[in-house]
Chains A and B, each alone.
Chain A
Amino acid sequence: MANIEELKSFATQVRRDIVRQVHKVNSGHPGGSLGCTEFLVALYQEIMDHDPSFNMDGIGEDIFFLSNGHISPVFYSVLARSGYFPVEELGTFRMINSRLQGHPTTHEGLPGVRIASGSLGQGMSVALGAAQAKKLNKDHKLVFTLHGDGELQEGQNWEAIMYAGANGVDNIISTVDVNGQQIDGSTDTVLNMGDLKAKFEAFGWDVLKVAEGNDIEKVIEGLKEAKQHTGKGKPVCVLLTTVMGNGVDFMMGTHEWHGKAPNDEQLESALAQNPETLGDY
């Protein structure tokens, strides 16, 4: 296992990358990105057995699908800093002719991305197809996904959740980023989804809760436990409680920073809270 302090400083650099990316083009989604930083760092630096030389089919390796594509800044930063493409390319985020589109896409051939996402609710279905392909290929590696909690309001998710439970797709670990926020306010006020654990369980899933989704040790612990639950006839769900905007005090715990970029002053404050660790791009 990697040194926890090293992973924490990796995460700090990713947070810098996130705010710098969105500040430069005055657009993008920092809130959810910051909230999922520890999750993605844990996944790519500790949990998944993956190959940054990147092959689309991903046979013989663990693969990941980002369903809530708007948190592309954290995805791009973690991919780049895990060796999928040069970190300098983060400076092209959302710019014309860039491989780093506003929402992730395979269209420009960016290594590490296996499906376009952005229009919400589609990632789990794609992941289930990939999971079934792994079974056909007798490939015992796993498929990981990430979804926003608000994203679960999209009906397609429940088609997929029903399919996975009914068919015992037990080589998938789907994590839900439970930050309780969405564009129009809290998830409870916009469209209350009730007890997500009970819902997933009712659809035949094995559900784990990780209460401290921004504590990288706890995230790693939770995901390692989730891996132990695979291969037992049920799909595995991790309900990961996070704080939107985590690590930048004025962005924390509010939906206000879902899709808003910091100004120069705010950037300075955000960077001061997250000192350079691996070198800025």
Chain B
Amino acid sequence: MKKYTYTEKQDTRSGFGAGLAELGKTNEKVVALCADLTPSLKMADFIEANPERFFQTGIAEANMMGMAAGLTIGGYIPYTGTFANFSTGRVYDQIRQSIAYSGKNVKICASHAGLTLGEDGATHQILEDIGLMKMLPGMTVINPCDYNQTKAATIAIAEHEGPVYLRFGRPKVPIFTPADQKFEIGKAIMLNEGTDVTIIATGHLVWEAIKAGEALEEKGISAEIINIHTIKPLDEEAIIKSVKKTGCVVSAEEHNFLGGLGESVARTLAEHHPAPQEFVATKDTFGESGTPEQLMDKYGLNAEAIVAASEKVIKRK
């Protein structure tokens, strides 16, 4: 089993900020918009270097989404920045009509997704955003796992023609993917091969899945671990191939089990290779205030939960 180590922890939103700054230097068509959250989105470097390509909309997310759609008319590639809650639920109809249905090349970049936003509580902790976005025809949905991958994804989506939802977060998490990685939209990444259970994780749960794999190995269970950074389009082939080998699957995500990655995996398997599945996800609930660690523990979104789900699903084979 491959061992993953890290020397540094960093927040994925900083990966976004670094990627955006890089794009500012390399792609003159990239413009950015923000609804009064530039420090939280780490947009300062882009803004400082490209003030004419930055649009501060104030606390007016609906107008920001519409303006982003309009900026594509004239050839620009707009990146919008605000919290995940205000990037999706608050502006769903604007995204649906002016961006998705209109086929506009807008990159919706959403920070502070999920429970790990922490102390601000449930008003800000959206756990439904993946579902909202993946249901929109033509929308690509990406949830990278660490700083390096978020930076690489931020850069890669500029080359993809069409609307993208890029989801990242606030807590500092281990950096374990390569700094020089090429980000391929829709391509699953095999982290560890195994034979007893497939663990499919996205975002912050990928590192937890790696830790779970190590704990399972000590118990004599061989886990195959896959990083699904792109929830839509989903790498169905990689999922089917793995589950054909292991015979069962655990999905892990910082999101409601209704509408998330797990449901996409379940649909894929139901169509092609039915198999037992356990869902590490929030279970149709809102979040609450607390530290990120406390919340991930309380709502069962960590390595321990993945281990327990793996042992359970293996018994169901």
Contact B66 A122 (CB under 8 A): yes
Give the distance to chain B from A274, nearest Cβ to Cβ, in Å: 33
* CB-contacts of B1-58 with A (<8 A): 31, 52-53, 55, 57-58
Q: Does A114 contact B73, Cβ atoms closer than 8 Å?
A: yes
Q: Is the CB of B98 within 8 A of A116?
A: yes
In the complex, are the beta carbons of B97 and A118 less than 8 A apart? Answer: yes
Contacts of A139 in B (CB 8 A): 74
Contact status of A163 and B74, CB under 8 A, knowing A106-B103, A116-B97, A122-B66: no
Q: Which of A52-81 contact B (CB under 8 A)?
A: 56-59, 63
A267 lies within 8 A of chain B by Cβ: no
Task: Evaluate contact between B52 and A115: CB separation under 8 angstroms.
Answer: no
Which of A29-37, A152-160, A252-260 has 4 or more CB atoms under 8 Å from chain B? A152-160
For residue B185, give the distance in angstroms from its CB to the closest CB of chain A. 22
Beyond A116-B102, A122-B94, A126-B69, is A160–B74 a contact (Cβ under 8 Å)?
no
**Cβ contacts under 8 Å, A228 to chain B:** none
How many residues in A have their beta carbons less than 8 Å from beta carbons of B?
37
A160 touches B63 (CB 8 A): yes
Size of interface on B: residues with Cβ below 8 Å to A: 32
Stretch at the interface among A1-9, A127-135, A239-247: A127-135
The listed residue (B55, B60, B63, B93) touching A119 by CB distance below 8 A is: B93
| Contact status of A156 and B94, CB under 8 A, knowing A116-B101, A122-B66 | yes
* B189 contacts partner chain A, Cβ-Cβ < 8 Å: no
In the complex where A155-B62, A159-B60, A162-B58 touch, is A133 in contact with B75 (Cβ < 8 A)?
Answer: yes
User: Is B70 at the interface (CB under 8 A from chain A)?
Assistant: yes
Across the interface, which residues of A come within 8 angstroms of B101, CB to CB? 105-107, 116
Chain B 85-119, CB within 8 Å of chain A: the 1/0 string? 00000000110111001111000000000000000
List residues of chain A with CB within 8 A of the CB of B66. 122-126, 128-129, 156, 160
Contact for A115 among B55, B58, B63, B69, CB less than 8 A: B69
Residues of B within 8 A of A116 (CB): 97-98, 101-102
Distance between Cα atoms of A58 and B75 in the complex (Å): 9
Contact indicator A163/B102 (Cβ below 8 Å) = no
Known: A122-B94, A122-B97. A57 touches B63 (CB 8 A): no
Contacts of A163 in B (CB 8 A): 57-58, 60, 63, 67
Most buried by A among B53, B62, B64: B62
- Any chain A CB within 8 A of the CB of B175? no
A-B contact pairs, 18 of them (CB 8 A): A57-B75, A58-B74, A63-B73, A105-B101, A105-B102, A106-B102, A107-B101, A116-B97, A124-B66, A125-B64, A126-B66, A128-B66, A129-B72, A133-B71, A136-B74, A139-B74, A155-B62, A156-B62
